[in-house]
Amino acid sequence: MILGKAISAAAAPPHARNRLTIDAVFRRLAERRPDALALADAPNRQSFTDGAPRRLSFAEADRMVTAIAGRLRAMGLPTDAIVGIQLPNVVENILTMLGVLRAGMIVAPLPLLWRRADAVAALGRIGAKALITCGHVGSFDHSLFALRVAAEVFSIRYVCGFGGNLPDGVVPFDDLFTAEKLDPIPPLDGERQNNAAAHVAAVTFEVGEGGIMPVARNHPELLAAGLAVALEGRLAPGASILSAFAPSSFAGISLTLLPWLLTGGTLVLHHAFDPDVLAAQRQSDRCGALILPAPVVFSLAEAGALAGDDTACVIAAWRSPERLATSPIWREPNTVLVDVSLFGEAALVASRRGVDGTPSALRLGPMLAQRDGGRGVVVAELMRTDTGTLAVRGPMVPHHSFPPGIERSGLPYFQVGRRGVVETGYACRIDSGSDAITMMAGAA
């Protein structure tokens, strides 16, 4: 599904000329580093969901991605079918996202804690064809939850699940890990093959005053966001990245899935938060990068839990960007801190702290993702509206509302203005005599 008018690469704006897909990035890694460790679960996995912790090489992960893609196509799901995913932060979550994309379909991740009414509204709005979940998370039966959601969403044809003791009506996926023969993946049509990157890759969901609004991005738009995080963090090739963010939103995909793919290292997954388990994972997998919510980062730093290990970069995600300006000074001399301000599903801004440990100012104009000494790549542009709110546009920002025609439905939708400008709704002011902006609490 291509949003907007399809145009040739030569005539497209610079941000739209990238023909690289997320699956192509992963395939290259699997070819170049087949025996390297790709994905690792938390050692306490069995305390919150089914199955022993998994540790997969790139070759093993690639085989499982192919298995998931083949199973989805064998079930009769068509190209560009939307597949909902609701899984904890475990290996299967990453594999399923990649499998959906390899099948030529669109992934729609759902937050794990959403209520049934939220899931029904979101999946019904986008016409999802399948929902993939797990047996349980904690004491909650997610497979039964998924069946109840599917009963209320007319478009859903299949509910699939990982784990044991799945109820009748749920297609089991655990057998794919040990299957000797995999279902073939039928070739995609010509347009999908020739311009796969321009097709929608993922649909996430913004929750506003009017309700739940789907937000669609193609492959270059997602890769631009991941590039902003990876380059600002100076994440080394082959780095071991420990992330506590499940890829259930634009932020989660940008902070977890994409930096891993762009660096080609190991992705170590941490579900929810357990400081002892986190410390054990950092030590056992020698994690060079740590991705956590900002409040957790500073709590760990205050307790002295970030000193004296292999971590060279900590990425702190701010869901309330206005709190960044008043955050504590970073006092870990051997560890770089990168602040990532999250503006809902619209965009993110990654900014590396200076040697004095204070937050870098957000500035109007183009936002560059760059290596040390490099020219940099524009990944977004920040603007201030006449009403005093922050607006964004550029490569990582959605360029079209979704689904097509939603503007005429009377339903709430994620609005994209002229020239691709999206108002975030976050209030900001311009600092006197500069192009720096300060985020403010509340709406303008």
pLDDT of residue 374: 64
CA nearest to 308, candidates 279, 285, 328, 281: 279
* CA dist., res. 221 & res. 18, Å (int): 9
20-32+44-194 against 219-439: fold identical = yes
Mapping DSSP to helix (H, G, I), strand (E, B) and coil, where does residue 362 land?
strand
Concatenating the DSSP letter of every residue in 101-134 gives: HHTT-EEEE--TT--HHHHHHHHHHHT--EEEEE
Task: Give the pair of three-digit tokens for residue 359.
Answer: 């937050």
- Give me the residue label for tokens 């201030």: 384
Task: Give the pair of three-digit tokens for residue 257.
Answer: 């899935």
CB atoms closer than 10 angstroms to residue 270: 24
* CA dist., res. 348 & res. 302, Å (int): 26
Q: Please name the fold of domain 20-32+44-194.
A: Rossmann fold (3.40.50)
Q: For residue 330, what are the contacts with CB-CB under 8 A and spacing of at least 6? A: 301, 337, 353, 357, 358
CA nearest to 437, candidates 318, 324, 298: 324
The parts of the chain modelled with pLDDT lower than 70 are: 5-18, 190-193, 308-309, 371-374, 442-444
Angle between helices 22-32 and 58-74 (to 10 degrees): 140
pLDDT of residue 195: 83
CA nearest to 331, candidates 297, 281, 287: 297
Distance from first CA to last CA of the chain, Å, rounded? Answer: 36
Contact 188, 78 (CB under 8 A): no
Give the start-to-end residue ranges of the domains of the chain: 20-32+44-194, 219-439
Contact 67, 99 (CB under 8 A): yes
- Give me the residue label for tokens 């509204």: 121
pLDDT of residue 9: 46
pLDDT of residue 11: 42
- CATH code matching the domain that covers 219-439, chosen among 3.30.360.10, 3.40.50.300, 1.10.3720.10, 3.40.50.12780: 3.40.50.12780
